[in-house]
Amino acid sequence: MRRQGINIINKSTGPQGDKGATWKGAYAGGTAYVADDIVSYGGSSYICILASTGNLPTDGTYWEQVASKGDTGETGEQGIQGIQGIQGIQGEQGDKGDQGDQGIQGIQGIQGIQGDQGIQGETGATGETGADADVTGTSTSSVSLADFTNKTFETQAGLGFAVGTYIRAYSTGSGEYTYGPVASYSGTTLVLDPDVVAGSGTNSDWTITLTGSKGSTGATGANGETAISGTPVANDFARFVDGSTIEGRSYAEAKADLSLDNVDNTSDSTKNSATATLTNKTIGTTNLISFNSPRGFLINGKIVPTVSGGQLTLSLKGQDGNAPSTNNPVYISLNNAIHSVTNALSVTLADGTNWMDLGSSVFATYQQQLFAYIGYNATDGITLGVSRIPWARIYDDFSTSSTNWMYCAISDISNASTNDSYAVIGRFDATLSAGAAYDWSVPTYTDKTLIQEPIFATGRMQCKPTTDITEGNATKDFYYSINMKRASFAGEFTFGSTTSFGSQNNINLPIPSSYANAHSVTKPMAIFDSSTGAYQQYAMITPSGTSNIILRLRCVDVSGTYIALANISSTAPFTWATGDKFMFDINYPISN
C-alpha cells in the first residue's frame, strides 16, 4: 500500500544558504561548463572550478575530483550445495476444472494529497547602489546633419542612454549639433531620432551627452503695435519723436538724422544709383554705434597663423588679409568696451624653446590646439597672445614660465599688470617637434583647424603619457581634451609579447588634476582577456596625487571569484598575455 506523505509546513525562514553545485550528468566534450557544475567521468565525479569547454575532468586546472570510483570487492566463498530432496510420487491427474471468471481489476491507489505551498521567505536586504553609468560618450562615426533622418553613432557600450531619454550630439570641431530622444541603443550602436538639427555638414568628432527633453510651448506673446498706415511717397521718411508721436522727415532730414555724410563723400545721386560702390571709411568716435557683443568678438578681423624657419607667428589681420590701419581698422569687444586696432599686431614663438611643454615626449609631434587671446592695458594698448588654456580672463590666470603648460606668449608685456583683461578670440592647430630644435609646423587650415570666433574647448588631441608599465611592443592610443577647467583622458592599451606589468602601474595624466584623494575620480575601466574573450567590467582607475592614475581592481573574475580592491598585476585578474587589453575614459577638474 502507498503511504500518504505528511506535509510539514515550516513557519519560520532560515538564512539563505550558499549556492549549491549543479549536477550535469556524464561529461560531454562540447558542453560549456561553469564553476560549481558537477559531472561524472570514468566512474568518478568532478566539480568545475574554472569555466571550461573541451578540457577533460582529469585536467586539474579546470576540475577537482569530488568522489573516485570504488575498487572492486573480493569474490565471496561459494556456499555448500544442499542435498537434493527425494522426488515425490506423481499423483493421479484430476479432472479439468471449469475456467474461472476473470477477476476484477484492482482499484488504482489514491494519489497523495499535494502539500500546502510553503510560506514565502522574507525579502532580502537591498543591495548596494551600483556605480552611476557614464552619461557622456564619443563617436567617430561620419554623420550628416543635412536632414531629419535618424542619426546612427558607433560609441562606447554601457552608457546611461535609455530608449526615450533625450541626448545631444555635437561636433567638437564645427560646433554643429543634433538633439532628440534615443530611438535604440544596443551594444555600441546608438540611434538618435532628431527633434533639432543645427547645421548641415558631415562630421566625425562627436561628443554625446544626456540632456533634458524639449519643454512645452510657451504662452503666446502680446501683439505688437499697429503698423503705420498710408503709402509713403518718394523721398518721404518718418521718425518717432517719442513713444507715441511720429513726424514726417524729408530725404535730406533723414540723411542728416543718420549722419550719412560721415560714412563716405559720395554724392546723393550716386548713393541712389544701383551701381554705387561705397568705400571703407573709419567710423569716428562720435559716430561709433554702441552694441552688446560677446567678449572677444571681432569686427573686420581674423587671426592668421604662419610658420617660417621653424618659427610660429600669429597675426591679427583685417578681413581682406591685410594688416589693420586707419583705413582698415579691426574692432574688438573686451571688458564692456569696443577697442580699435589700426596698426600691425603679431606675436612670434621662436624655434628652440619647449613652449608650453608641447615639445615634451607627451605632446611632441602630435598636432595640438592653441587658443588666440586679445589683451589690453592702458599703456600697451591691445596685445595678442597664444596659450593652451581656454579659461583665462586676466593676465594673472597665465603662468609666467614659457615651458609651463599654462603659459601665454604675448606680443608685449612691458607694462603688463595682474588684472589686465584678456579674452579668447579664436583657436588654431599647430605642432612642435621634439629635441633641441623644437621646430613649429602648421597644417593646411580648414574650418575645423582654424576657428575665427571665441571658443572655450578643444577637440580630441593625441598624446603619449608616461607610465611605469614596461610597454615593449604594446599597441596603444591615448587622447585628451580640455573644456574650460575640466579635462577628459581616454586610452586603449593592448599587450604585446614584450609587455609586462610592474607592481604599481601608474599612468601620468596629460593635464594635472585638482583631485586630492583616491575616491574623488574612481571610474570604471574595461579589461579584456583575449584567451577567453571575456571582459571584466568593474576594474577601476584611481588617482595618485594630482598627476597620476593607478590601474586597480574590484570585480568578479571569469571564474566567479570576487577580487577586493587591489592593483592590477601581471597575474591579476588573470595572467596577462599578448592581445589582452585595458580601456578607460575619465573626466576630471584641472589643477591651476
List, for residues 323-341, the tens digit of each pLDDT value: 999 999 999 989 888 899 9
Yes or no: say if 189 and 152 are a contact pair by the CB < 8 Å rule.
Answer: yes
Same domain, 368 and 476: no
Residue range 260-310, pLDDT digits in tens? 444 444 444 444 444 444 444 444 443 444 456 788 999 999 999 999 999
Rank 73-82, 490-499, 571-580 by mean pLDDT and report only the highest. Answer: 490-499
Specify the amino acid at residue 167.
I
The strand pair at 298-299 and 166-171 is best described as unpaired
Same domain, 565 and 585: yes
pLDDT given at position 527:
87
CA distance 409 to 347: 7
pLDDT given at position 533:
84
Q: Looking at the domain assignment, is residue 244 inside a domain?
A: no
Same domain, 479 and 428: no
The strand pair at 206-210 and 461-463 is best described as unpaired
Percent of the chain predicted with pLDDT > 90? 40
323 phi/psi in degrees, rounded to 5: -65, 150
Same domain, 305 and 391: yes
Domains: count for the chain: 4
Lowest mean pLDDT among 102-116, 313-327, 530-544: 102-116
Residue range 546-576, pLDDT digits in tens? 666 666 655 545 565 555 666 778 887 788 9
Yes or no: say if 305 and 433 are a contact pair by the CB < 8 Å rule.
Answer: no
Q: Say which residue the cell 501683439 belongs to.
A: 223
Same domain, 303 and 452: yes
Which pTM value belongs to this model?
A: 0.54
112 phi/psi in degrees, rounded to 5: -65, 150
Residue range 518-533, pLDDT digits in tens? 445 567 788 888 998 8
Same domain, 354 and 376: yes
Using CB atoms within 10 Å of the CB of residue 423, give its burial: 0 to 12 exposed, 13 to 18 middle, 19+ buried: buried
Q: Looking at the domain assignment, is residue 429 inside a domain?
A: yes
Same domain, 478 and 513: yes
Yes or no: say if 314 and 305 are a contact pair by the CB < 8 Å rule.
Answer: yes
Same domain, 535 and 569: yes
Percent of the chain predicted with pLDDT > 70? 66
Q: Which of 161, 195, 210 is the last residue of a domain?
A: 210
Yes or no: say if 327 and 280 are a contact pair by the CB < 8 Å rule.
Answer: yes
Same domain, 390 and 480: no
Same domain, 447 and 505: no
Q: Which of 210, 243, 262 is the last residue of a domain?
A: 210
Same domain, 578 and 477: yes
pLDDT given at position 463:
96
User: 345 to each of 209, 411, 428, how far by Cα in Å?
Assistant: 40, 8, 17
* Domain range enclosing 497: 463-589
